[in-house]
Structure formats: structure tokens, C-alpha cells
Amino acid sequence: TPDESGNGGGDGGEETTAQEETESTGPAGTFTLWHQRAEAEKKALEQNAEAFTSETKHTADPAEIADLRKKTTSAIPAGQGASMFDWAHDWTGEYYQNGFLSDQSENLDVDLSVYTQPAQAAVQFDGATVALPYAAETVGLIYNKDLVDEPPETIAEMVSIMEEHHDPENGKYGLSYPLNAYFMSAWAHAFGGYYFDESNVELGLSKEATLDGFRLILDNFVPYQPKDTGYDPQAAVFLEGNAPFAINGPWFLGDVKSNGIDAGIARLPSPEGDAEPKPYTTVKQLYFTTRVDEDEAKAAAAREFAEWYTTNTDVLSNNAEEFGYIPVHKELAESGDLPAAVEGFSKSVALGTPIPSHPNMGDVWGPLEDAFNSVKNGDAELQSAFERAEADIRSNWE
């Protein structure tokens, strides 16, 4: 069979279709799982694959790929590539529509109800189940315990604490918050607004409820931030101990720890009234590619690993403890036994909404950010800026 290790073959990365019968029913299979994980996470995945291989008749072979998007989009249509790959759910719609993914809904032994509702939605497209989910990510409120005793529950409480610490002339700020479209989504959704409704393929950027969310950011957060709202300048002020709050995700915690900041994590604070922040969430998942359709032994091995990995509470708890992965296994997510950091992010995930996996979503990010920045910099009015952004996005869809 074509090599799917991504490393030129001959290195144990080839996918075999061994048909030898084992003591249990059905043939043993070997499959390759492509991933692009950081070093510590990669080692954990390799250990998990070894554990699975020793416990079952199947063989799991993880292979690190440098540019996963490039590799999957070139190899899979050529009848090559791995049976499974590991990535966030935002490729689901595009990859399924392009014929890269296999619908395994009729073949799975795990019921999707064991996962949280957003995770169930993330692994499906047009009624097909093309992956299984193992973790979620979103942004939450990170606070410096040396500067803040208790995290604020409301925006009003947060503003009063930011006010107390904000002293830009001396390099101190109220808030560290990268203002990109993903990070801002909580407030755009808080009052019933939205960026993109994938069920109707409809934009909501210029809707009043969405604009209310952007106004909230401009009125309550921007005045307390460093002027440059890019990721690195914003991250730096929190990491240097010069801001009481950061709005960021679990990926930020490694830097927070290595800078010696004693941080707590809480759900995002609520605006006044009935509004609740609903940040975009991403679901990390194991995708089934069309390679699994070639051979039942290979398919069975890949499915069994995905089912094992996404429901094994020891694996999932370790991922939470070591890497801040937020469990989407419902029982574990609701157990109250999660590490404190993960518990805080988990509450934000519970409020959140999955990033649309529709292919058209990719065109939304850039024009949205350009519109917001033009308003923030005083170069445009809110309503007209986002009406223009919608026109730009629609022209890209034509």
C-alpha cells in the first residue's frame, strides 16, 4: 500500500493490511495517525499508542508531520496518507466536502452521547460522523493571584479592578487581551449576535446584537490595554506581572508558569442583564480519512483506537493535568475532579459555541479584524465598517 508515514517510507510508517486472524474475531490491523503535536504532547501520544497496541490485537503508529494541512490535502486525494489525523474541528466541513473524510457513523461502537454537546456537533457534518473528539479549547479569564484575590463575576467588577491597576505611564495595564476575531467572539455572541450562521450560510457581523458585543470590547476593555493589541505585546504585559488579568487560552499556561506567575483561571465575566459570554470553542479530534475505506482490518484498528483514546478517562485526565486539555468526555467534564486550571476553562467551554466548520467560515476572519481595527483606531464608524466587511466577505464567496 502507499506509504502514509509522511517520511518517505521504509521507516515502519507504512500502513499494512495484515489479515492474520487473532484469538478474538476479525483480523488485526495496523494504521498510521498523522499529527503535528509539540514535543511533550507527542511523547504522551506515542506512549498511549504503545499502551493501546499492547492491550489489543491492533497496532497504532503515530507519525509527526511538519505541515499537516499541506500533507493531508495533497496525499489523501492521491489515495495516500494516513487512516487518521489529529487536528481541531475547523477543517471538518471543507475536508468532508472535498471527499477527504470517511463517514463512520454506522460502524462506531461508541455512542456520541458520551461526549459533551458541542463536541458531538463538532465531529459531524451533513449527518456524517467523520471523527471522534478528545478535548476542547477556548479562552477564559486568567488572573494574577498576587494582584487579584477573587476573580470578578461581572464586567463591572472587572472594570473596577482594572481601573485600580492601570498605569500606562509606568508600564502597567488593566488587561492583557489579544484582539483577534477568535478571542473577541465571546462578546459578539453574548447578546445574541453571531459572525456566521453556518446552517443558513448567513453573516451576522452588522446585526445590532453583534455590534453590541464589539461596543462592549471598545468601551470596557480597550481603554485598559496596551495600544498594540497583537498577541505578543498583549501576552508580554501579563507575563511580566504588569497586568492583573489576561483573556487567553490553555496554550498560554506554559508561558505563565515559566514566567513564575501564580495564576488562577475563571470563566469569562458576565455583562449586565441576561447576556452571557459565549466564546468560540475548538474541539480537538481524531479524523477518519478515506484510507480507512480500503480495508476492514485497517478501519477496525483506527476506529478502536479512536474509541479507546477518546473515552479512556486515565488518558484524558493525564492530558488535562499535563497539557491543560479540556475534557469533552461528558462524565469526566462534569466530575469536578479536574485540575483547577482546566476547571476554569471548562466553564468557558460549557458556555461557548463551536467554531463553524463550514468552508465559507475561512473568509470571515480577515475582513472582520480589519473592520474592528478601523473602528478602534478611529478611522470608521462601527455599523458602516462591518457592513463593508460583510460585502467583502460575500464577494469572496461568489
Mean pLDDT of 99-123: 95
User: Is the pLDDT assigned to residue 338 strictly greater than 50?
Assistant: yes
Secondary structure element (H or E) that encloses residue 280, with its range: strand 280-288
Per-residue pLDDT tens digits for 167-187 = 999 999 999 999 999 999 999
Q: Which of 248, 219, 230, 298 is nearest to 30 (CA)?
A: 298
- pLDDT value of position 4: 53
- Each residue of 45-72: pLDDT tens digit? 999 999 999 999 999 999 999 999 999 9
Please name which of 89, 88, 85 lies closest in space to residue 71, comparing C-alpha atoms. 85
Strongest mean pLDDT among 221-225, 255-259, 361-365: 221-225
In order, the DSSP letters of 364-385 are THHHHHHHHHHHHTTSS-HHHH
Q: What is the pLDDT of residue 272?
A: 87
185 near 277, Cβ under 8 Å?
Answer: no
Give the pLDDT of residue 120: 94
| Domains in the chain with CATH codes | 30-137+282-350 (3.40.190.10), 139-280+355-397 (3.40.190.10)
- What are phi and psi for residue 270, nearest 5 degrees? -95, 140
User: In DSSP terms, which residues pair with 136 in a beta bridge?
Assistant: 283, 326
CB 68 within 8 A of CB 85: yes
Sign of CA dihedral 10, 12, 13, 17: positive
**Please, are residues 46 and 63 in contact by the beta-carbon 8 Å criterion?**
no
* pLDDT the model gives residue 282: 93
Query: What would the mean pLDDT of 263-285 be, rounded to a whole number?
Result: 93
Percent of the chain with pLDDT over 90: 77
* pLDDT score recorded for residue 25: 63
pLDDT, mean of residues 89-115 = 95
The pLDDT of residue 311 is above 50: yes
Cell 449576535 found at: 193
pLDDT at 234: 98
Look over the chain and give the mean of its residue pLDDT values, rounded to a whole number: 91
Q: Using CA atoms, how far apart are residues 273 and 166, in angstroms rounded to an integer?
A: 26
Is a pLDDT exceeding 50 seen at residue 304?
A: yes
Q: Are 266 and 344 in contact (CB under 8 A)?
A: yes
Decide the pairing of beta strands 131-137 and 280-288. Answer: antiparallel
Q: If you count them, how many residues does the chain have?
A: 398
- Confidence at 164, pLDDT banded by 50, 70, 90: very high
Q: How many CA atoms lie within 13 A of 364 on its CB side?
A: 21
Q: To the nearest 10°, the Cα dihedral for 356, 359, 361, 364?
A: 180
> What tens digit of pLDDT does each residue of 3-26 get?
454 543 333 343 444 433 334 467
Strand partners, 203: 196
Sign of torsion over alpha carbons 250, 256, 258, 262: negative
Mean pLDDT confidence for 136-146: 95
- Phi then psi for residue 132, to 5 deg, are -125, 140
